[in-house]
Amino acid sequence: NKAILINVAYWDYFFDDLSHIQKYYTRQHRKHATDDTPVPPPQPPPMLIFMKKIWMNAIPGQDKLADIKFHFPQEMPNYLRGYHKCSAEEAVNLSSLLFKAKYGEDKQPLDNLGDLLTHLIPKSVFKEKTPDKWKEELHASISKLKFPTKEDGKVAFLKSLHKWPTYGSVFFEVKQRSTKSMPKHLLVAVSHNGVGLIDANTKEVIDMFSFDKVPNWAFDDYSFTLVIGEGSSLSKLYMETTVGHNMDDLIMTYVGYIMNTQIKKKPSYAGIVVGESFA
Mean pLDDT for the chain overall: 86
Per DSSP bridges, beta strands 216-219 and 223-228 are antiparallel
CA 4: distance to chain centroid? 16
pLDDT band, residue 45 (cuts 50/70/90): low
- Judge whether residue 78 has pLDDT over 70: yes
- Judge whether residue 276 has pLDDT over 50: no
The whole model's pTM is what?
Answer: 0.81
| Domain annotation for the chain: domains and CATH numbers | 1-49 (no CATH), 64-161 (1.20.80.10), 170-268 (2.30.29.30)
- Judge whether residue 235 has pLDDT over 80: yes
pLDDT band, residue 249 (cuts 50/70/90): very high
* Alpha carbons 38 and 43: distance in angstroms, whole number: 14
3 state SS of 12: coil
Contacts of range 227-230, beta carbons closer than 8 Å, 24 or more positions apart: 228/195
pLDDT band, residue 262 (cuts 50/70/90): confident
* Alpha carbons 32 and 209: distance in angstroms, whole number: 48
Over the stretch 160-189, which tens digit does the pLDDT of each residue have? 999 999 999 999 999 998 888 899 999 999
Pick the closest to residue 143 from 117, 118, 173, 107 (CA basis).
Answer: 107
Q: What residues contact 45, with CB distance under 8 A and at least 6 apart?
A: none
